[in-house]
Structure 1
Amino acid sequence: MRGIKRRGTTRRVRAALSAAVVVCAVTAAALTAATAATDTAAAVAATPAAATPAPTVAAVEGLDVGVERISVATDEGYGAASITPDGRSIVFRSLKNVGGPGGDEVYVRDRSAGRTRTEPIVEGWTPAISGDGRQVAATTPAQGMSTQRIRQHSVDLGILPFSCGRCNEPSLSADGRYLAFGVVDYISHNRRVLVADREGGYQTIAHLGSGAPARPSISGDGRYVAYQDLSYQKEGVHLWDRATGTTSGPLEGPDTYASLVQLSDDGGKVVYLSGSDTYVHDVGTGTAQRVPNVKGVAVDPTGRYLLYAPHGTSGPSLVLRDLRTGADEAVSGQPATAEVDSVSAGGRDVVVQSAADGIVPGDTNGKPDVFVRRFF
């Protein structure tokens, strides 16, 4: 999640785009050498640090309205894309199967400059990018092992080591200082949710009785972390507050099961799924807005625009809703999916994946590609 101030928008959308994105919300933060050497399995709680103010992000101008193909490097197939709040940079991964060490699987497209750079992250599952576009991270297999680890690359500092066993699901604050992630214990196979500070130290913010994904999602300033607990008879979504050191939840109530979609950058909205409906929980009021019979897949950084997939309809497969006005805009008229961090601030851009040919001229490789739809 990345920090952003709310801003009003006018919407002019009249197009449909086919896409399918397979992505987990991932991000990562740089750690000091001493911190990187600490295995998370032995990490202890640290005193909460003061939250870093979320930066103001302005949308990048000069980009054309319409559809742009992002994965222009090769024709091997791409997916798992995330976009920065200003819509300038998009991180995505290659879908090729790279055996053993070697190979560049993670890419960043700078839309303003028209350049794509590769990041030295091997087999970069679920890549993510910081709000300022300065850091990229992904969950990768540890070499020679079946366990996972988080690997991060900084434009300024190069590869940043992060030592942890069975760690995954990273989520990065706006400036890359705070990293929320899940780790599965070796013996019990239960999961914990931790927050690492690039200036040193870890905090364990939740002990879960299940190895199921916790899907932590951190706010832009690093103050809040939302996560899901899918333990038996404990299914629910929770919200941790760095400032108070307390956790609230389950947000959906004690008698309703839910799974997390995403936390908005300001920490004010938590999107979760329950039954066949999507809910947008307002942290300030404690109330939830119900969006019936849809599967929410992402929320824009301001918390105003919800990207969702309708259930069982013959209409658009991806729709962007203005939660304030209730207005819907079709994103994709063909079978499509998307994931978290796929919508820029104010719902201006939506990044998707599609295997369909003909979305843009010259896309005839017959493999999944990453596209971005700019609405206005």
Structure 2
Amino acid sequence: MRGKLRAMVVAVAASACATALPAPVDALASPHDRHERAEAPSVQRITEGANGASGDASVSANGRYVVFESSADNLVPGDTNAVTDVFLHDLRTHRTERISLTPDGAETPDGGSSPVISATGRYVVFRSRALVGDEERYGYVRRDLRTGDTDWVGGTDELYEGRGTLTGASVSADGRYVSFTARQTGTGRPGHRTAVRDLATGELTLLASPWASEGHLGDDGRRLVYWESVPAPVQNPPSRVFLQDLRTGESRRLDVAADGSTTTSRSGFPAISGNGRVAAFASWATDLVPGEDANGAGLDVFVTDLRTGKIRRVDAPVPQGHSTTPSLSGDGRYVVFGFTPPGTTWGTTHLYRTDLRTGRTALVSRTPDGTPASATTGQRPADAHGRTVVFSSADGTLAPGTPSPGGDVYVRTIR
């Protein structure tokens, strides 16, 4: 799950025709510059008063609806199941409601987790048990917020014979297509499998690769980016990133060096813009674009134009730091990513947003005095135009009010 930043043991793929895009001349080198201060973005805590931890936030394309998981039992009346549930918050009305419920509106003893909202804001996909029919099946379900209907998406039993763990899902804009990933457990060399469910026909498409992980769909449900996490020494590099056209079955690698050669460095954490024009990933590679890499063999975020194959590196806000877990706005103009400053513990991650048109970078997880705060994101953390970013953090100084134990969900609006 992207909300819990993991040490990266992955690999990524890229187009053989990739060439380098020069870094914008006005790109910012420091996270504390006069442009960023002038923007004066606002932040609000949407889980104010919660008595439990909240996270894995996701926002609709219009920036109005936020879904998240929380262990709090005081966000809505009647929450007595003592487990993590999925909630929807309307930023216009400031109303919060629980959506991990049975079809008849009753709470479930298993709650729900790892939500992602469709771009339209109508559908929410999350993990739960026994929400559809009478079967005790655990997996991903899709909730229609307009009708209240809940549909089964898929579980580990459809991807593996034996034990497995669900690790992530994504959903097309109209809610029709849902991708999900399971990790095989109880074996000496665990694999990953990713599948896509067409909820209009019920058809399940299983990706051919036995290592495909963390798939992310574009809005139309046709294009999917994923990474292969292959344990060494089976394959070198042990992780790489691909783009697959689900209609034609065509697949191409994205982490390819500027001269067309295959990088030997690890890559992973793929993302795709809603319009399907831009993809992003993180890599330790130093040979994907020409020119000096400020942090050497450190982890960087790369962005690929899927039409032209051109690739560019989004340099870290501070040299020698590590950038990872990128997400893209629906229009592909903005990339939101995590950044670990040099000299800090791995997992101490600050959030930044880079405007790929101007090259300007702004600190998202920023306290009122301008100090970076540690934060994590869930699926689809930015709206269509990159103006609204949702994230979770245990830093209670991000916004006024009393912080919740274990962390809150925040919304940053950048004008």
State the TM-score, normalizing by the size of structure 1: 0.73
Is it true that 1:260 corresponds to 2:260 in the alignment? no
> What is the rounded CA distance, in whole Å, between the counterparts of 1:297 and 1:71 in structure 2?
24
Give the superposition deviation at 1:22. Answer: 3.5
| Alignment match, 1:44 | none
8 Å Cα contact 2:241/2:270 also seen in 1: no
When structure 1 is superposed on structure 2, of 364-373 and 247-256 the one drifting more is 247-256
State the SS of the aligned residue for 1:138.
strand
Could you say what the CA RMSD is over the residues aligned between the two structures, in angstroms?
3.3
| Farther off after superposition, 154-163 or 100-109 | 100-109
User: In the alignment, is residue 246 of structure 1 matched against residue 250 of structure 2?
Assistant: yes
Deviation at 1:306, TM superposition (A): 1.3
Per-residue deviation, 1:203: 4.4
Residue in 1 that maps onto 2:45: 69
The match for 1:46 is none
The 3-state SS of whatever aligns with 2:68 is: strand
Which residue pairs with 2:150 in the alignment?
A: 159
1:291 corresponds in structure 2 to 314
The answer on whether the counterparts of 1:105 and 1:118 sit within 8 Å (CA) in structure 2 is: yes
The percent of aligned pairs where both chains have the same amino acid is 27
Give the 5 Å matches for 1:1-376. Answer: 21-22=3-4, 66-72=42-48, 74-95=50-71, 105-120=85-100, 122-140=110-128, 148-155=138-145, 156-164=147-155, 165=157, 166=164, 167-184=166-183, 190-210=191-211, 214-232=213-231, 233=235, 235-252=239-256, 254-256=262-264, 257-275=266-284, 276-293=299-316, 294-313=323-342, 317-332=350-365, 333-376=372-415
Give 5+ residue unaligned stretches, structure 1. Answer: 1-19, 25-63
Structure 2 runs not aligned, ≥5 long: 7-39, 74-79, 102-109, 158-163, 285-298, 317-322, 366-371
Worse overlay, 310-319 or 267-276: 310-319
How far the C-alpha of 1:178 sits from its partner, in A, is 0.8
Report the CA distance shift for 1:261/1:93 in structure 2 as closer, same or farther (over 3 A).
Answer: same
Q: Is the 8 A contact 2:327 2:335 kept in 1?
A: yes
Q: Is the 8 A contact 2:255 2:263 kept in 1?
A: no
**Offset, 1:248:** 1.2
Contact 1:21/1:79, CA 8 A, preserved across alignment:
yes
Count of matched residue pairs: 313
Partner of residue 35, structure 1: none
Give the conservation status (yes or no) of the 8 Å contact 1:299–1:340: no
Q: Distance in 1 between matches of 2:340 and 2:182?
A: 32
Q: Tell me, what secondary structure is at the counterpart of 1:272?
A: strand
2:56 is aligned with what amino acid? A
Q: More deviation in 116-125 or 185-194?
A: 185-194
